[in-house]
Amino acid sequence: MGMNAEVIAIGPFKRSLAKDRHLAYGPDVYEDTKEGESVIVPVIHMRTNQGSTDLAEALGTEAWAMGKHVIDISKINWKRLQKVLDEQDKFESSGDVEGMRELADAGFKFYYLPQG
């Protein structure tokens, strides 16, 4: 059975994040969203077994450690995370490490979700 995985973020809405395109949609979609309301953002999607495992390791967790999928920001290996994304082709992964850093700085929490 193959595995894929994604990272989602949940945190307080800030209009500047929408303007900088760090949220799931363009700024117009958030027109009626109030500052501080919780929003959910897909951050990274990995479509291969190895990529999903490597992603978990870069995030400081294990792919199938179900009780450890709330990501501790201090355990993220940001260089490794960028390398994991760079090693995949565009059909195997999507994500933006700098955007993830911006969300982290804005107080978002991250979650690793394996599927397979």
| Domain that includes residue 8, residue range | 4-115
Residue 31 pLDDT level (bands cut at 50, 70, 90) = very high
Residue 8 has pLDDT above 70, yes or no: yes
pLDDT at 68: 92
Q: 114: which 2 tokens?
A: 């394996």
Residue 66 has a CB neighbour count (10 Å cut-off) of 10
Q: How many domains are contained in the chain?
A: 1
Measured CA to CA, the distance from residue 78 to residue 83 in angstroms comes to 9
Q: pLDDT: is 94 or 107 the higher one?
A: 107
Q: What is the pTM of this model?
A: 0.90
pLDDT digits (tens, 9 = 90+) for 44-70: 999 999 999 999 999 999 999 999 999
State the residue for tokens 């390398």: 83
Q: 56: which 2 tokens?
A: 């978990």
Give the residue from 6, 61, 12, 78 showing the smallest Cα distance to 39. 12
Residue 1 pLDDT level (bands cut at 50, 70, 90) = low
Measured CA to CA, the distance from residue 114 to residue 39 in angstroms comes to 21
Residue 93 pLDDT level (bands cut at 50, 70, 90) = confident
